[in-house]
Structure 1
Amino acid sequence: MRSFRLPILACLVLAVPAISQIKKPGNTPAPTPTVKKAITPVGEVKILRASEANIMKARLNKFVLSKKAIRSAHRLNRKKAKTQREPRGLGARSGSFLTQLEEVEAAGRVQHASLVPVLKKIMLHGGIVDAVKIKAANSLQAQPKKAACKVAMELLRDTRFQEQGSLSAPMIRLMSHHGAPKKFWAYMRRRFLTLGTLGQQALLEHIGSSRDWDSARLLLENIDQPSPADVDAADNPPAEYWKKRYDKWARCKPQVRNACEKLFGQSFTTRKEANAWLAKRGGLNKLRKKRGG
C-alpha cells in the first residue's frame, strides 16, 4: 500500500493549481468596449458613447452665454454703442480663458452629434474671446457629417459670419471635405467679396483641389489688382473700400495662382495674359469641354 501513496499524493499536488484556475461564472471580466473612430477634415477622431458625450456637453455648456447676456449683447449691437461698457455677464459663464480653450479644443478630438448644437452656440455667443469661437469652429469639423454640414450651411448664410474669415474658413473646409451641392458653391462665389480673407483663401483652395470649372471666371476676375472701372464715376466706392479690397486680394494671390495651375495647368500674372492663353485654345468654354469640366 505504501508504494501507491507517493504517486497519488503527487497527482493531488498537480491537480490543485489546475482546479484553482477554473473561472467561476461570476468572476468573468467584462469585455473591453471597442473604441470606434472616424476620419474627419481634422483627422481621425474617437466616436463617443452617449454617456461620454453628455459629460463633454455639460462641460462645454459652461462656456455658453446666459440668455440674459445674449439679450444684452444684442441690444448693444443694435444701438452700436461702442463706448458703452459691456453688460454684466457678457463673458463666458465660468472657467478661465485657458480652460475654455482646452475644453473646446478637446471637442475636436471626439465626435458625437449632440455636441454640434453647443459648438454652434459657442461660435455665436461664446463670450468675447474670439479664440474660443475659432476653436469651436475647428471642433465642429470633427463632428458627424449630417449635423455639422447643416450648421455650417446655416452659418454661412449670415453676412456677419461670412465676414469673420477665421470662422467661415473652417465651415468652408468642412463643406469641401464632405461635398456640397453646386448651388451652395454658386452662392459662395457670389459672396466671395464679402468673405473675410481666410474665408476667401479656403474657398480658393476648394476650387483648386476640386478643379471646379464653374469657378473658373472667379479665378480670372481675381488675377489683376482690384481697381475701379471709372475713378470719376459718381457711384465709385470710396478709397477705403479699394484699400480693403487690395489687402484681401494681395493675401489671396498665392491661392489664386495655385488654383489656376490646378484648373488650367497654367498660372498667369495678368488677366490679359490669361485671356490670350485661353484665346489660343478656343476660349474658356471649349477648353472646359475638352478637359471634361
Structure 2
Amino acid sequence: MCISVKAYAEDCFSHKFSCGIKAKQVCELVNTKYSLLSKLVWETTAFTFCFEESISFSSFQFNLGVNTAIPNTCGTMTDSDYYMSGSLSQYSEHSNHLEYDWCFWCDAGYKLAFRNLVIVPMLSAEIQNRKFSAWNGCIQKNEEKYDIVGNGISYKQMIFMPLVKVNMNYMIKSRFNIQGSVRYSPFFYANCIDVHYFRNKVFFDELNGGFCIGGEIRLYFQHIGFIISYDYMKSGSNANTKSRNTGVDSAESIMLTNYTPAIELSSFYIGIELCL
C-alpha cells in the first residue's frame, strides 16, 4: 500500500470571529504533607467572544488569537476547610463575580495534505489571565451558620504555557467540512494571588509543572461553523506559597513551607463561528 503525503501550498489570510457560552471551574487547593487543608471552587458561566487571524504562506500557517469573557455575577464560589483527619471544619458559599477572563495565543505550523484531509502539526504559546471576587453569602462552622455581606475573597490567576497542537481539516463536500484539534502541554507556569479581606491576609502562589490537555470539534457549512471544545489543566507538586497581611505598610511576605498550593481547571465551550 502506498500513502502519498505532500505539503499543502496555499497563500491566504483568514479572519475568524466566534461567540458562545463557556462554563468554567477553577479549583484552588492547599495541601499539607499529610492531607488536604483547603479547597476553593470558582464556577462561572460566561458569554465569550473570540477573534483569530490566520496567515498561510506556502505550506506554513501562523495564527494569532484572543478570547475574552463578558464580566458577570452568575457564578458561585465555595470555600471548604478541613481538619487533619479529613473531616470538614468550615464551609462557606458566595456569589462569584467574574471581573475578567481572557486568553491570548500564537501558533506556528506546517500543513500536510492527503486527499481530502489536511493535517497541521503546530507549536503554540498561550497566556491566560483571570480574576474572580466572592461576594456576600453564608458561612457554616460546626452547628453555627451566619450570613456575611461584602467582598470576602478575591482570586487572580495568570498562566503561561507552551503547547503542541494537531489540527485536522476533512472536506466532506464542497460546502461541508469538519475540523478537529487536540492540544497538549507538558508543563505550565502559574502565578496566583488570593486575598482574604475579612482575615486581612493575602497569599501568593507560584506553580510550575503539571499538564494541560484539550480537544475541539468544528462543523462548517460554507463560512459558518459550530464549535464544541473542552480543556483540562492540573498543576504538579513543584509549588510554593507566601503570605502577608493586607495593606500598604505590611511586612514582607513569609514563605509557608508546610503548605503546598495546587490548581485544577476545566472548561467547556459551545459556540458558533464566522470564517472570512
Same fold judged by TM-score > 0.5?
Answer: no
Q: Which has the larger radius of gyration?
A: 1
**Alignment TM class, shorter chain as reference:** under 0.3
Q: Normalization by structure 2: what TM-score?
A: 0.22
Structure richer in helix, relative to its length = 1
TM-score under structure 1 length normalisation: 0.21
